[in-house]
Amino acid sequence: MGTKDGAPAGKRGPYAKSKQRREDIVNAAYGVFAARGYRGGSLQDVADKVGMSQTSLLHYFPSKSELLLAVLERRDSVSGDGRPRDPEDSFVDAVIRQARFNETVPGVIELYTVLCAESITDNHPGRGYFTERYERLRRSYSRAFTALAGEGRLRPGVDPERAAASLVALWDGIQTQWLLAPESIDMAGCLRDYLELLVLPDHLAGAAGAVSSGPSR
């Protein structure tokens, strides 16, 4: 139902302001958690960055754990959650492209690395998120390696599940080293070297587009 002048009824102004406020809080928490971790970063730290009281912040996010989940969702939106952007990419190309993209968003990688390490501690609210994420990564990569094996492009003796777990471990480890010394580490190059040990060169026409599942980072 519209208003007298034809504009839709409702509190669009306050809603938009509230939505922007939530985004500001999440962005502030993103920086706080990346720098200090979930344990070390307090709600007061976040409130101070936004310029509001902790009581007001709790109006938008009733608990610190809820804020953390919002931050993790924000992280996924920035990284694209690793979904393939080009269906014509081969699996190897998709991994390298995602690694190159990650180099353009160091804050995202820093946040991920800090919170992932913290999540192994008791009662961390992000533990479920990272546990599920690793399971999803292993499944995705294992499917990709299995598909390559079906094309005759996976080297003999390579187990898709173990290769998938190793790729996850290598990627996380290389990212950590890159954060500490970005000028010394070629993250994408290291990943390509590993994958070229496992995957035979593309010798079949159209094989590059045969793998539909890309890296989820």
Query: Domains in the chain and their CATH numbers?
Result: 12-62 (1.10.10.60), 80-209 (1.10.357.10)
Residue 2 β-bridge partners:
8
Work out the percent of the chain whose per-residue pLDDT is above 70. 81
Name the 3-class secondary structure at 2: strand
Q: What is the pLDDT of residue 84?
A: 47
Question: Looking at the predicted structure, is the pLDDT value of residue 203 above 60?
Answer: no
The whole-model pTM stands at: 0.75
Question: pLDDT tens for residues 119-176?
Answer: 999 899 999 999 999 999 999 999 999 999 999 999 999 999 999 999 999 999 999 9
More confident residue, 160 or 16: 160
Name which of 119, 109, 38, 35 is nearest 75 in CA terms.
109
Question: Looking at the predicted structure, is the pLDDT value of residue 25 above 80?
Answer: yes
Q: Is residue 2 very low, low, confident or very high in pLDDT (cuts 50, 70, 90)?
A: very low
